[in-house]
Amino acid sequence: MTELYRGDPKDGVAWITGASTGIGRALALRLAAEGYVVAATSRDEERLDTLVKEASAMPGKVVSFPCDVTDQAGMEKIVARIEREAGEIVLCVFNAGNFFPTRGDRLDALNIMKTFELNLFGVVYGLVPVVDRMRLRGRGQVALVGSASSYFGWPSAAAYGASKAALNNMAEALKHDFDKLNIRLQIVNPGFVDTPLTERNRLTAPAMISVEEASRRMAQSFRTGGFETSFPRRFTLSMKLLRLLPFRLRFAFVHRITRWKSRPLAPCRRSRIERHERQL
């Protein structure tokens, strides 16, 4: 069986979304150090400019291509602009995402909609145009950044975990066809990484690693990894084993390590109920 294509700095550009902070920023610097021309996308132009300067002495370079990943038309245009100004995209990493706490005692439809618009559709809007171009060339490599939270449900992560589980399922389904197109599709499921996003999560964060270590492992997976990469192994393996437990035991375990049952419920939002009643 012929080996699927892997991106190479000599072949073209690496495109990273969510490149201004966290894992995306560390990965952009790492790939530039490996010789890639890195097309960096984020809404924050100022931080992208800082990233470009930081990579200026590296074997490769970072080029700023600001865009909002939730803008479908804008993402189509940015893919065309990257290929016109920087070169063919041979590796793309859909990393942009955010965590909006979503609890059952304070449900908010907007939180869930924002999460899926960014974490799922923000991938789709870039994936469609870039895969069209990769198919024409007969090669490419695509990595989607999921999360170990996709393995089963965690308190306050109802929207985030569901969006990352959707990415995992979508990637698994698309791989059947991408293989025939010589487009290597990968899913990366990190555990807890020390980023501004993790700081917003008030849950216990075991086995946390630095963004530098996360970017190192991701870059290694692009060179040698298979369909799924998850890390740190001792944490993600335990998560996968817990997924095999009966629901009763899994819920008991999660409640124990998060102490969720001892946390107070949010106040009932009577004003919102009354507003709905008046609208009826």
Dist CA 211 CA 25 (whole Å): 9
Hey, CA dihedral for 166, 253, 200, 23, is it positive or negative?
A: negative
Residue 173 tokens read as 């389904």
Query: Hey, which bits of the chain come out as E strands?
Result: 13-17, 37-41, 61-64, 89-94, 140-145, 183-190, 228-231
The answer to whether residues 75 and 121 touch, using CB atoms and an 8 Å cutoff, is: no
Q: Which of 5, 36, 151, 160 is an active site residue?
A: 160
Residue 7: which H helix or E strand, with range?
none
Distances (CA, A) of 129 to 43, 105, 183: 19, 39, 14
Indicate if 160 belongs to the active site: yes
**Do 18 and 118 form a contact (C-beta atoms < 8 A)?**
no
| Residue 197 token pair | 């996003």
Strands 183-190 and 140-145: parallel
- In this structure, are residues 144 and 190 in contact, taking their beta carbons and an 8 Å threshold? no
State the amino acid at position 34 in one-letter form.
E
In 3D, which of 145, 227, 216, 223 has the Cα closest to residue 186? 227
Please give the radius of gyration of the chain, using alpha carbons only, rounded to the nearest integer: 20
Residues catalogued as catalytic: 160
